[in-house]
Structure 1
Amino acid sequence: MVRRERPEADEGMPRWVKIFLIVGLALAVLIPVAVLAGHGPGRHLGHAAVPGAAIGGRG
C-alpha cells in the first residue's frame, strides 16, 4: 500500500486564506447583483426615510 505524503506547510496558501477569498469573492459578486435587482438596503427603509425627489414626489 502506498502512503501519500502530506504536502509541506510552506506550499501554497493556507486553507483559511482560500476559504476567506472564496467567501469574499462570492459577496463581492452577490451584493452588487442584489442591489441592481432591487433588493438593496433602501428597500427596508420605508417611504418616510426616502426623500420625496427619490420616489417621484416634490421634495
Structure 2
Amino acid sequence: MEAMIERCAGLDVHQETIVTCILYGPLDKRPKKEIQTFSTSTHGLLSLNDWLSS
C-alpha cells in the first residue's frame, strides 16, 4: 500500500487526559512517532493545540 499523507495525528480522549500520537516524515521512509499526554483543562488543551501546530 502506498503512503499518501505526510502527517497524521491520533487522539485517545479520556475524562482527565488526552493521549496524542503523531506520525510524520517523508513518504518514502518509515514515519517518526511522537506520543504526548495532555490534561483536559484549558491550559492542557491549549498546550495540545500548540504541540499539534508546531
Structure with the greater relative contact order (CA < 8 A, sep ≥ 6): 1 or 2? Answer: 2
Task: Give the TM-score taking structure 1 as reference length.
Answer: 0.25
Task: Give the TM-score taking structure 2 as reference length.
Answer: 0.28
Asked which structure has the greater CA Rg, the reply is: 1
